[in-house]
Amino acid sequence: MNSDIALIQFREDSEMASHELECVTRDLGINEEQITVYNATKQDLSSIKVENFSAFIFGGSGDISLSDGTEVVKTIKNNIKILILRVVEFDVPSLFICLGYHLFSDYLGESVTKTPKQSESGTTKVYLTSNAMSDALFSGIKKQLIVQEAHHDSIQNLPKAAVLLAENPRCPIQAYRVKKNIYAMQFHPELQKKDMLFRLNHYSEKYETDKSKFKESVETLKIMKNFVKIYQKKSKK
């Protein structure tokens, strides 16, 4: 297995796609030459050989909500279903973030719905579960974690195959793990305060928030660094 990372994007906006790539490479501590980028809105990803990558990151999207059920949503689901099957089969280290989290939850059989009372926009807090406190992805992180979020969709039930890792009162299922190395999270571990402000300024018509209440979320950097350790460890086996 080589050392490359695959970034699966779901963005129709090229500026935001570039920004996502920039944030991911920065927080993983790698350069862009180490990442292969795919766009699931335009590419059928069923031919990707998962053994050619050390890890996968399935990103978010300010353009698309899974619950809308549009043609582009149907296209995305069709383009990634074989890839997700293989990722799960081989337990390839993966992060499913925001829309990626919704798509993975949908793949696992959970309904993804637009639930206004559970929507979040900006800086919020999540709380690690007892399972997370002994999980490699959250090593060295305190139980209360400040994160950046922007979503209208959510899931109501934890997938049967999953272990709950993070929660909060507003949107109870914030992060979970499947098998040993596959993680899904509602929040954005790759975004810091300045990144979320940039994103929400771009998507100001879709997300309303009080920007004066934004806070730094430096602890999420540890999540990204821990993820590097996870996929490097598996690659050596």
pLDDT value for 3: 56
Question: CATH number, domain at 150?
Answer: 3.40.50.880
pLDDT at 139: 97
Task: Tell me, rounded to whole angstroms, the distance of Cα 91 from its chain centroid.
Answer: 16
pLDDT tens digits for 144-171? 999 999 999 999 999 999 999 999 999 9
Counted domains in the chain: 1
Edge-to-edge strand list for the sheet holding 182-185: 35-39, 5-9, 55-58, 94-97, 182-185, 175-178, 162-167, 120-128, 144-151
3-state secondary structure 56-89: EEECCCCCCCHHHCCHHHHHHHHHHHHHHHHHHH
Residue 207 pLDDT > 80, yes or no? no
Question: Are 76 and 39 a contacting pair, CB within 8 Å?
Answer: no
- Answer whether 67's CB lies under 8 Å from 37's CB: no
Among the residue ranges 3-7, 65-69, 211-215, 223-227, the one predicted with the least confidence is: 211-215
Q: What value does the mean pLDDT take over residues 123-144? A: 97
pLDDT tier, 202 (very low <50, low <70, confident <90, very high otherwise) = confident
Q: Looking at residue 1, what is its pLDDT? A: 40
The mean predicted confidence, pLDDT, of the chain is 94
The band of 29, judged by pLDDT with boundaries at 50, 70 and 90, is very high
Predicted confidence (pLDDT) at residue 131 exceeds the cutoff of 80: yes
Structural domain containing residue 44: 5-235
Question: Per-residue pLDDT tens for 30-86?
Answer: 998 999 999 999 999 999 999 999 999 999 998 899 999 999 999 999 999 999 999
Task: Over range 119-145, report the average pLDDT.
Answer: 96
Amino acid (1-letter code) at residue 133 = M
Flag whether pLDDT at 108 surpasses 80. yes
